[in-house]
Chain A
Amino acid sequence: MTRQKVKMAFIENESSRKATYKKRKSGILKKANELATLCGVPVGVIIDSAYDLSPEVWPSREEMDKVMSQWQRLPVMDRTKKMLNQQSYLQQRISKESETCKKLTKENKELQMKEVMFDCLSGKTSPSRIEKSDLRDCGNVIEQYLKNLNRRIEILSKNDGASSSYVHAAATTSVAMPIVEMGSSSTAFCDMIRQQQIQSSMNQNVRGLDLNQQQW
């Protein structure tokens, strides 16, 4: 059964509030115990409310006294450095979550623009159909991709100079083929690739013929 999402506000219903208090209090003490045990560190908790006759002290008065003396031995600055109350704690959480959310929004935009870029390359759409507000972001994504491509090309070129120049030449040869002008319609990258593949296979046959002629 899925849990009900609890609204983070004071519970108006008295009996609900009391029940929640009891459950959550015991939950906190359990978690405090786990923290202390797993990490082997001193932990002290005091919880007080209208529902308790006297404040709940965990782990025990004696242990809490030990924590207290350790606390009081610390200079005031050390004590207050990481001290939080509701206000400061919530502010901290708000800024952290906003930060993370912003990063995620940015990543999402990049993912979206990458899809647009791929769609343009495969002819599913064209730059004229991109949302005006997205053009800049799209351009940036293309830019970043080109940077990465260049970096990768550099790495590969460095690693094997000999074979890469062969491959480079092969690319040149294939590209130097006359490309059919497509008039006023835009030609998608993928169509170019396929045309090339057709041309280069045709070229294979032509080269074959040339060789025959040379032998003559």
Chain B
Amino acid sequence: MSYPLSHKTVFVLDCSPAMERPCGHQFEMDSLSKGRSSGLIPLAPVTKTMWTCAVEAAVEYCRIVWDIYPSARLIRLIANGAQAVSVNDWTAADQHLTTLMQQLAGVMGGVRSAGSQHSLHAGLAAALHALGEPSEAQRADRAADAAAKVMNRGRVVVVSQLADDGQARRLREWFADALLQHNRTADGAAGRLTVHSCELVLVSVHPDTAECGVTPRPPAPLSAILSGSVVTAKAGTQLAPMMMNLVLSHYELASTTVTGIPMKEEQNSGSSANYDVELLHPAKAYESILQGSPADHAHLRTRRDGCEYETITLKWCTPRTSSAELHQCTSASRVTPVDVNSRPSSCLTNFLLSGRAVMLEMPRRSGGKFVSHMLAAHGGEIFMHALGSGRSVLEDPPSVSEGAGGRVTDYRITEFGRLVSDNRLAPGEASEEGGVPLHAALERLARHTRVWPMTLSESCLAALPSLDSLTALLVKDSLSTDEVLECKKAVYNLVSMEARHEPLPVTTSGARGRGVKREEQYRALWSELEALVRAHCRSDGHQAALECVLECRSQGRAAEERLGLDQAMEELDRCGAPVQDSPLSPPPTKRWRRDRPPAQLSLLEMWNQRVDADNALKRLEFSGRLNGGDNNIVKLYAKLDKDKGDEVKK
């Protein structure tokens, strides 16, 4: 495992009496109660100490890093007073702004150095010690593989008032020696890591009113494993922007200014004015867009007052897209506003956090503009999506309807849509057997698709809406007693359908055309049903369902000889399914002559039987026939004859 230099950073904040001196930059306080203070004694301006400036700048550095790299980029603060006091730890819990602020307040009082024997060595030694401590990730790596070499690198930033170049040089030399010494002892020690590479940044601050005695030095190697640089800054006005420069170069960040953000005026709510907000983000957000010679995109870059870095200006585009659209995005980077509490910044962040997305336009050098980025928040974090620009190699793709299978029209799209919504993913808990949730999802998908005809014409079963409940139940992992009953109900329903010779919904296309007999359709349906249930046979409940299907099917076959309708009806009654006959339909006994096995029927009889059945559906049977005796022969006008007879008798 290799860890980047920015994995670990240690700040050594000097707390010497020199740093307790005022920074020389005054904050005016009188204007705060303006308008009410006529004739009052003006308030004295306040001045921060250099220590306050240093802490503020370091905290701002942490804020930016932790917003953009919520994990794996760790920072520790060490206050160097009479002794070195470590403010926080490498643990994930400590790598957070709120926690850090509390910890800072906690140690603040105890670290002040009293005397003249003050030295930065204690702080530097503590910083080295901190770099030698494994971070949580490194510890996990070592635990996973004890033999693996963990590349341990880090950076030390020292903020102090240095007297002259000589002091800076002595500090660097002392640190280089201490680093070698540390690596010698760390080699064998448990729980200690060798520091393979280190960068020492000496930040010399001085009051705004004083002159600086130290010359800045660009980063240069000091030894094989150590490089160093010196920067200087006026504590009051320059330290914070300088820290911003450092954080940009240390973490390869870039700055983007979103311009033209329309905002309602505070004073005059009717009007709106345009504001700019500067954001920081990893430089990779521009990786694919800004390449080639720097002159090509010089028109985008501007430099803000007092900053060494350049910012790229993109224009706010009034949002119109819906989130349900997938943009061609090449990278997504976390962002953080430079001035987090300013009104325009908080306005933009709140707008984004409320769930809306903002498109950003980049002007072309040749004129015109294109949408290059999108700002959007996901789960409370704001991301800058770099969008694909320029020509795509996928232009003018063929339509799906032009490819294989494109001319088939009876795909079961609706049912597949249901399959999609039934197989959605959600964060889950690992099961007790140690299986990851994704395996469970894969298993479920496999269950759902075990038997899944793609087109309607491919399957009789799929075309029958009354069996949907059955298929929905069968894909379950196991079936409860009630669910088994449901399955059986569906099967018996099918039996009764067949018994009533209900026509199946036949698809006109495909192999099963018009000419296919109803019996054959049912036979195909039954074999398809059996295959379906057999494929899903994975629990006792499924076994019960399968047995039910097999039973009904064998009876169905027998019924071809003896039409065992009664039994089917009985079974249907037994499981409580409503008989689906209309009250107007004649009793089934009239339609089916069970005393005559169909095998012995002549063609004429079969024809008659069918005509009778059809007729029976069309009109009510004459009640006289129903009550009639043998051979259903009834004498008409019996009463007339009877009356006539009576008269004759008289």
> A and B bound?
no
Q: Enumerate chain B interface residues (CB-CB to A < 8 A).
A: none
